[in-house]
Structure 1
Amino acid sequence: MPASERDARLWLVTGGLGFIGHHLCRALLSRGDSVRVVDDYSDAPYPTVLKMRNEEELRREFPSFEVVRGCVTDRELAPRLLEGTYGVLHLAGLAGVRPSFADPARYARVNTEGTATLLDAAQRQGLELFVLASSSSVYGNATPLPAREEAPAIVPESPYAASKRSAELVASAMLRKTPSMRCPSLRFFTVYGPRQRPEMAITSFLRAILAGKPITVFGDGTMRRDFTHVEDIVRGVLAAAEKAPAGFRPYNLGSGAPVTLTELVEAMGKAASRTPTVVHAPVPLGDVDATFADISRAREELGWSPRLTLTEGLATVVRWLESERTST
């Protein structure tokens, strides 16, 4: 709902200088709301230089945009971050399946402890809305596909997946203290689009294809992924903030139409008007065989469904990469 139809709101967006965070902040500011971001400017997995550029561009367009440098694990900072806010859109966290094996304790601290710290502060201040960004990784390989929110998610394939599932379990337990609070947990399925992390498949593949370089596909190309454009994810976050019921409630946000890596490469070749050169490599530790979202709950309860096809979404990435290349 635009601010013209209600009182403008102040939102706390954690991790607001990252990939999804930048797009979400822009959507909120564009509709007339105010945003306070907390970000620690860490360099991995999303490079600090990109966070600084995202901040600069948002400030240039929206001078009142507020940024606080800090970490969501800081118990003293948390209450100050929440002052005057309508709700929390909690995107901050460490992403990445493969890097999580190198530093599992850090992933647990930021993703699980950080969520508990911020949610506890929100409960103490009487906030009624805490939107939690989760991941399709919580399902692992043991969950029947298409994955439904009520399906067991008890065999994570990586420390990253475990930290996200742990954050959900902690939040669910904490909501027993404040049952009227709304805490939708949004399980994002392979989000892509402009400003994506540089090492992620679609961005790195398209950059290589446009430059005439080979791309490395893990496995035999039959792994399936449910790719979801960032614009659809932002609409899902906003829909959950408006319509999610009281209590803890998970929602899948995905395309509901997974494609194999071979099909993805073909689609990227068409989007880039190039013929990709493919090199195959073994599947890395922690990668799941497939992601496939059942999005019935989000459609029925939030009125949300994805709008951008993979072809349309890839075109936005190609345009972004080409604009990046011409501006440097």
Structure 2
Amino acid sequence: MILVTGGLGFIGLHTTRALLDLGESCVLGQRRPDGPPADLADRQVVVDRVDINNEAELLAVGDRHKITGIVHLAGSMPWPRGADMPVAEEPVGDARAALNSLFNVMHAAREWDVPRVTVASTIGVYGGVAGAGPRFEDMPLPMTSGHVIPAFKKIGELLNDYLADTTGLDIVNLRIGAIWGPGGRPTSPFFAVPQLVRAAINGTTPDLSRMTSPAYAEDAIDLCYVKDCGRAIALLQLADRLNHRTYNVSAGRATTNAELIAAIRQVVPDARIDLPSGGDGEQSYLDITRIGQDTGYRPAYDTETAVADYIDWLRAGNER
């Protein structure tokens, strides 16, 4: 059974579905006691309540289940404690807890003798890399980070490389792009697509006030539909052999807000979702040659099919 930490989360559930489709069974490690969603009720999946900051709790999962691999998607970062609090109240303790959860997962992997641990990183580690164009896994990265998420993901990648060298564990870093789709948050501070889609189907104008910077029609980012993301992670977890320790997990192309708006209007022609022209027009994206060569991964969704699928999901009565 594959243990998916954060298994009831946005990316976790789609990764689980992909693992199940590939013939695996899964344990979803989660702090909250919820059961699996209805579409997974009759499949080879169980939810096990566990706090990965508690080493004994985590190790006990291996007493209840035969764990054959780990997909570590839970945070391992010190999240700010409130929307109005940009810095955590207990930064030292929170940082210690974040790193401790990563160490606990690696300790459990050694105890259970699992063949591979895949660990979520982020597109944000490329922040500060100069110039447009593709972002390759072997590019030099700046030491600085403008946000807590890429900062701790860089730390995690370095720790993972060290632990892979010294323990013999097969640890794989997943540099995950900007992910959106069914189950995602209704707003994003980093890209406009969730707000644009929801405004279109609600007949409103998009509220982009919580974004970290203004949104323009020419703005572009590597947007990956969550179903593609989950399948990519599953393929990396289950591959017989991988040639690298770090992989970009994304669509492999830059998508502009103008392209998104055009795709939305194919489904909702009267959508009131215009954005002003402007921005720097720079287009960068994650190169996915490496994951394609080692797993055969190719995105199944382009912008138009992803938008149509997401709108169908929301119109079916799903809240997210």
Give the TM-score taking structure 2 as reference length: 0.82
Q: Which 10-residue stretch deviates more, 95-104 or 17-26? A: 95-104
Structure 1 residue 161 corresponds to structure 2 residue 143: no
User: In 2, Cα distance between the equivalents of 1:57 and 1:107?
Assistant: 34
1:34-49 matches, cutoff 5 A: 34-41=25-32
Question: Which of the residues 276, 286, 299 maps onto 2:292?
Answer: 299
CA shift digits 1:11-65 (9 cap, x unpaired) = 1011110111112222333444321111123xxxxxxxxx94x724255333x63
Corresponding residue SS for 1:85: coil
CA distance in 2, matches of 1:243, 1:198: 33
Aligned match of 1:47 = none
Equivalent residue, structure 1, for 2:120: 133
- Which one is further off, 250-259 or 235-244? 235-244
Shift of 1:206: 1.1
1:323 aligns to 2:316 (yes or no):
yes
1:225/1:259 contact within 8 Å kept: yes
Question: How far off its partner does 1:165 sit?
Answer: 1.5
Secondary structure in structure 2 of the residue aligned to 1:273: coil
After the TM superposition, which of the residue ranges 190-199 and 94-103 deviates more from structure 2? Answer: 94-103
Superposition pairs for residues 73-112 of structure 1, below 5 Å?
Answer: 73-83=53-63, 84-93=66-75, 101-103=86-88, 105=91, 108=95, 112=99
Change (3 A) 1:23 1:133: same
Residue pair 1:189, 1:293 contacting (<8 A) in 2 also: yes
Corresponding residue number in structure 2 for 1:55: 36
Matched, 1:188 2:180: no
Contact 1:232 1:306 in 2 (8 A): yes
Deviation of 1:302 after TM superposition, in Å, equals: 2.2
SS state at 1:238 partner: helix
Residue identity (%): 24
Is 2:45 the counterpart of 1:65?
A: yes
| Inter-CA distance 263–168: structure 2 relative to 1 (3 Å threshold) | same
Superposed displacement of residue 223, structure 1: 2.6
Is 1:175 matched up with 2:164? yes
RMSD: 3.2
How far does residue 320 in structure 1 lie from its aligned partner after superposition?
A: 0.4
Contact 1:79–1:122 (8 Å) recurs in 2? no
Q: Which runs of 5+ in 2 are unaligned?
A: 209-213
Deviation at 1:212, TM superposition (A): 1.0
Equivalent residue runs for 1:134-283 within 5 Å: 134-144=121-131, 145-154=133-142, 155-179=144-168, 181-200=169-188, 201-217=192-208, 218-243=214-239, 245=241, 249-278=245-274
Counterpart in 1 of 2:107? 120
2:6 to 1, 4, 15: 15
Structure 1 CA distance, aligned partners of 2:121 and 2:47? 23
TM-score, normalized by length of structure 1?
A: 0.80
8 Å CA contact 1:184–1:244 kept in 2: the answer is no
- Give the SS at the match of 1:68: strand
Which residue pairs with 2:15 in the alignment? 24
SS of the equivalent of 1:168 reads: helix
Q: Bigger CA drift: 223-232 or 235-244? A: 235-244
Whole-angstrom CA distance in 2 between matches of 1:134 and 1:31: 23
Q: 1:55 to 1:291 in 2, by over 3 A?
A: farther
Contact 1:116–1:167 under 8 Å retained in 2? no
Q: Say which is worse superposed, 215-224 or 136-145, in terms of deviation.
A: 215-224
The 1-side partners of 2:76 and 2:162 are apart by 22
Aligned twin of 1:6:
none
State the one-letter code of the partner of 1:19: F
* CA apart distance, 1:110: 6.0
Q: How many residues were matched structurally?
A: 300
1:245: Cα distance to partner?
A: 4.3
Evaluate the alpha carbon distance shift between residue 57 and residue 313 of structure 1 in structure 2; reply closer, same or farther with a 3 A threshold.
Answer: same
